[in-house]
Amino acid sequence: MPHLWNAEHARTVSRSSSRPYDYLIVGAGLYGAVFARQAKDAGKRCLVIDRRPHIAGNVYTEKVEGIDVHRYGAHIFHTNSKQVWDYVGRFAEFNRFTNSPVANYKGEIFDLPFNMNTFNRMWGVTTPEQARARIDEQRRAAGITDPRNLEEQAISLVGTDLYEKLIKHYTEKQWGRPCTELPAFIIRRLPVRLTYDNNYFNARYQGIPVDGYTAMVAAMLNGTEVRLGVDYLQDKAALDALADVVIYTGPIDAYFGYRLGALQYRSVRFETEVLDQENFQGNAVVNYTDADTPYTRIIEHKHFTGGTQARTVISREYSAEWKPGQEPYYPINDETNDALYRQYRALAEQESTVVFGGRLGSYTYYDMDQVIEAALQKAEDLLG
């Protein structure tokens, strides 16, 4: 494994140096906070910095009208890993929220993910055999045997009718590219099941921190020095001099000054409104799966925690191609970008005292639990 040498080297330098910190952690999101906690518990001196004026990266939540607002989009914690679930449980109490989004297609409401309720609404079928037969018939009619892109994958999973109403336009709004040019794995994130089960995730554990993600990340960072509003790449040399090893969780291409070209990302813009009504849409997440509605979904934040406030807060989510100066949210893991990422990865392996991690540092469409798992693994490699 190429980064083992890095790990060994990082261990060695950290024993012998007189710099003020063992680790400079760039980014106070989940990867950085978990790494900082592990390093602190191992007796290391850490400094965490973040360009933004707050901790918690894109899982940041902020109270508005007494409701935790997910400022950078809905985050629903889910994992199959008992280790990760127990780990987050040390820093936050989780509720038993189960994500069951609905899709609104021109006023027709469908349950998600794709399950017997969805198939019943679409075709009037009532049994798994009938649903299976419809899907198989539509897949055969489309002539798909070996799906090579998101469109073919989607049709082969749920048939053309559901692809047209629930996937095609939502996906093209979300990613700004035709479904025929997107990787199939994106749609395999969603379960397809022949049971009447609207749980969006196939995960053993699921929930939302009852006091918000910011409090959870603050608990992880408790006892570690954090400096906010500090832009690492603006002041790299001076900041590098502070620590033996840098844990960098920003975009990997930005670290290298985009010298091989820019990786593509999707960004998201939110229009958040406080409404003088108790319940706007009756659900935390409603996806708008038609082409004409300009936003992809509306989040009603109070429903994540069963809030009973008199007012409500909603966010309309608009997807956009990332441009410099905006926040990157999603890596676009198509072949071109993945090939460029591999070149950056090769450069990264030459940086013997820098570890790249997190969604942006690894250019990977990670879920929160995967970020935590990766940070714990890296901490174990480096700290022993």
Which residues contact ligand UDP by CB under 6 A? 103, 112, 166-167, 170-171, 174, 186-187, 189-190, 287, 289
Q: Which is nearer to ligand UDP, 87 or 170 (CB)?
A: 170
- Pick the catalytic residue from 297, 329, 366, 369: 297
Alpha-helical (H) ranges within the chain are 3-16, 30-41, 82-89, 116-123, 128-142, 150-158, 160-162, 168-175, 213-221, 236-240, 252-255, 335-350, 358-361, 368-383
266 is catalytic: yes
Identity at 189, one-letter amino acid code? R
Beta pairing partners, 316: 271, 298
Least distance CB 304 / ligand UDP (angstroms)? 14
Least distance CB 74 / ligand UDP (angstroms)? 7
- Pick the catalytic residue from 177, 193, 311, 316: 193
317 is catalytic: yes
Instruction: Give the C-alpha distances (Å, rounded to integers) separating 138 from 159, 160, 164, 323.
Output: 5, 6, 12, 39
- Pick the catalytic residue from 189, 227, 259, 269: 189
- Pick the catalytic residue from 231, 327, 365, 381: 365
Instruction: Name the residue with tokens 């989510």.
Output: 317
Q: How many CB atoms lie within 10 A of CB 292?
A: 7
Least distance CB 130 / ligand UDP (angstroms)? 23
Q: Which is nearer to ligand UDP, 181 or 225 (CB)?
A: 181
Q: Which is nearer to ligand UDP, 225 or 290 (CB)?
A: 290
- Pick the catalytic residue from 231, 338, 367, 381: 367
311 is catalytic: no
Strands 354-356 and 243-248, by their bridges, are parallel
Q: Which is nearer to ligand UDP, 82 or 189 (CB)?
A: 189
71 is catalytic: no
The H-or-E segment that residue 18 falls in is none
Least distance CB 151 / ligand UDP (angstroms)? 10
Q: Which is nearer to ligand UDP, 112 or 239 (CB)?
A: 112
Q: Which is nearer to ligand UDP, 38 or 289 (CB)?
A: 289
Least distance CB 260 / ligand UDP (angstroms)? 26
37 is catalytic: no
**Residues whose CB falls within 8 Å of the CB of residue 258, separated by 6 or more in sequence, listed in order:** none
How far does CA 361 lie from the centroid of its chain?
13
**Residues whose CB falls within 8 Å of the CB of residue 264, separated by 6 or more in sequence, listed in order:** 321, 322, 331, 332, 337
Least distance CB 371 / ligand UDP (angstroms)? 13
Say whether 309 sits in a helix, a strand or coil. Answer: coil
Residues annotated as part of the active site: 189, 193, 266, 297, 317, 365, 367
